[in-house]
Chain A
Amino acid sequence: MAKVTIDGIETEVPDGTTILNAARQVGGAIVPPAMCYYTSLKESGGNCRVCLVRVAQTSSRDARPLPKLVASCSTPVQDGMVVENITSPAVLEARKGVVEFLLINHPLDCPVCDQAGECDLQDLSYAHGLASTRYEEERRTFEPVDIGDKIKLHMTRCILCYRCTYVADQLTDERRHGVLNRGDRAEIGTYIKNAIDNDFSGNMIDVCPVGALTDRTFRFKSRVWFTQPLDAHRDCDKCCGKVVLWTKGEEVLRVTGRKDKYGEVHEFICNECRFERKSLSDWVVEGPRHINRHSVISQNHYEKINLVALKKEVERQIQFQKGKTNGNNPNALQA
């Protein structure tokens, strides 16, 4: 075990834990943001640099500070390490800089972007960004492309976190997309226009921290804050079957994996659950999903909905479906 102090709060974590995960165990405002690190994707992290922190003391044996800010997502703690996140002006200044860098080529098209309301970059720009831009030059743009019939790629919005490539490497049989070109001309692409088509490709949408990869079956259907997220599950022979249904009335607009409060999915779901099961009757609804990270969604007060009434409604829906397939008059049920 290693004792580590983060912003003055002492905590003890197993050896080899990263600074970011140590901070997450403490929780609250001292947790550095993360745009590219993703717990369930190996090798991820280190790219976006928003999680930079200052190590004021390397360990109990070495009282020197580290010369540079370090990426908290990839730097393991050492016993006696003292870390400064929000208490270090240098860290806040650097983070502001990184957010500014991420935004210079990112279109501020949140009003027409499906990710708005649950976008990590949107949250970050509110927290650290400037109200105006110092960037006067032309921005990098790409035409949106369809990678398969279910996923839309808006490369213009991409921040090159590499998460979607790790999904393809680690969840699917074969990666068919990757990062092409170099520097600020780098793009996620399939090289020769290729559809990405396999059972788990939809998870690329969930891991994308911005609106670069969006669900074509949900595009422009609703703002997320007008939907009601429900925890639900079904028996699925390909995946865990545990999902969040994003509903509006009785309509299931979108199905996603269950994201924790840091926006990370730990149990990935298959494309059948995500794209093909868009009816409440396909699912066993467990209850409302509590989402506290994205305040804009939580402001909808959906958690006050009446669970009993909802279950009844679901039951009615199921009976209605059965009735339809049996050729009976569904209205008879209500009698």
Chain B
Amino acid sequence: MTRQVLLKDINVPGILSYEVYRRQGGYSAVEKALREMTPEQVTEEVKLSGLRGRGGAGFPSGLKWTFINRNAGKPVYLVCNADESEPGTFKDRYLLEHIPHLLIEGMILSSFAIGANTAYIYMRGEFRWIFPILERAIAEARAAGFLGDNILGSGFSLEIYVHPGGGAYICGEETALLESLEGKRGNPRLKPPYFPAVMGLYHCPTLVNNVETLATVPAIVNMGGAEYARIGVGKSTGTKLISASGHINKPGVYEIELGLPVEEFIYSDEYCGGIWKGRKLKAVVAGGSSVPILPADLILKTAKGEPRLMTYESLAEGGFESGTMLGSGGFIVMDETTCIVRNLWNFTRFYHHESCGQCSPCREGTGWMEKVLHRIEHGEGRPHDIDLLDDVAKKIEGKTICPLGDAAAWPVSSAIRHFRDDFEYHIKYPEKVKNPKHFELEPLVSRSHLATA
């Protein structure tokens, strides 16, 4: 059984409430930190733990904390990025919904470490029903003396506010999130000069961290950074929540120890339980819709033939040629009947809809890609469309203000790289693909891409 850090108490009845959470040892990290530790010591433990940002980029969290300038003479803010809207990712929602006190405890510790007296939870607009859950948890923590003025007599004060967004994917980009939090249109800011650690919320130093990242902090403080770092492999320390979805027997949120082989994750009964209906695996999107898609042979083994592990490094092995990214942990599994073109069209439609429209390549390019993909998928594609699509994706990638452009371009480039046969099939048999279930009727067997358990 995997060591559980975040979800160990998730099945305890009533864990939503303060009493039960407290009885399970909740808020002991806050007591430990505020009574026995200095802010620097908390930061040091997080650095020791090797914790990396769980929102997708995987940047070392402790290092990020040290970028905050506490002596700028301005207030410091902590912002929790709860705008989880990446297709295929639903792990933060799980935490917020079922164990909100874990996040609040993590936020108290993080605020203490960086010297923030005000913290915000920027919550995705569609999570409307979670809003009262968080508000209630905050009120309970406040009543118990863990929020408000002079917490536990330490002289440290903190208020946490929940701010529901309007439901825009772009507001998950940290600078767009800050704009939105300030009450403006959620357009990403330019970096430079607007690095949140220096010029963040209201132009003050601001730390923006993902829900899962912050929720991991209490465990790190409790067990110590060095102990936490013993979980996992190499630079991928600790546990990670994976939202598994798609054609598997047991979709859901799983906490895994980083370093678990991908094959075990897909086929073991402890996790996904194998491909449904006894079918074969065709492809996996390993880290949320924006990371490159990999065919079955490359997701189970790297190009060198080594088993692929669930770590930041192993999944990225081979670069984008034969690798992908751990991203936010949105693990989407596709069986042999899946049409990669249709799936890609769906993803691209999402990015087209969610592009903020601020910079030209993303604004115009995402719509263009969607239209070309729509054409191909509906049997109206032309042979040159595949190269056109690839070229448009290349002209978006790396040219935009924020990573949304990359997120829209990577799936397109990788799908063409690994599944060109799927695209060519669509051009060759326009009449067959006009039926949306074309590959369900007649799976496309291409090269060595299919894998069985």
Contact = CB atoms under 8 A, between A and B. Distances in A.
Interface string B376-409: 0000000000001000001100111100000000
A98 B357 contact: no
Contact of A183 (B193, B355, B388, B399): B355
Given A46-B401, A183-B366, A184-B355, A101 B360 contact: yes
A46 B372 CA distance: 28
Contacts of A69: 398-399
B24 to A, nearest CB: 43
Interface string B189-211: 01011000000000000000000
Interface in B347-376: 352-361, 363-368, 371-372
B185 interface: yes
A142 to B, nearest CB: 14
Nearest to B397: A68
Contacts of B372: 137
A38 to B, nearest CB: 15
B166 to A, nearest CB: 10
A46 B357 contact: no
B34 interface: no
A47 B367 contact: no
Interface size on A, as a range, is: 35 or more
B361 A98 contact: yes
B299 interface: no
Interface string B239-267: 00000000000000000000000000000
Given A134-B388, A186-B363, A160 B357 contact: yes
Interface residues of B, number: 31
Contacts of B395: 93-94, 97-98, 100-101
A102 B399 contact: no
Contacts of A47: 358-360, 401
B356 A182 contact: yes
Name the residue in B192, B358, B388, B401 with the highest tally of chain A Cβ atoms < 10 Å from its Cβ. Answer: B358
Contacts of A160: 357-358, 360, 363
Nearest to A43: B190
A179 B179 CA distance: 15
Interface stretch (A71-79, A192-200, A261-269): A71-79
Interface of B: 168, 170, 185, 190, 192-193, 352-361, 363-368, 371-372, 388, 394-395, 398-401
18 contacts: A45-B190, A46-B359, A47-B359, A47-B360, A49-B399, A50-B360, A100-B395, A102-B364, A104-B364, A137-B368, A160-B357, A182-B168, A182-B353, A183-B352, A184-B364, A184-B366, A186-B356, A186-B357
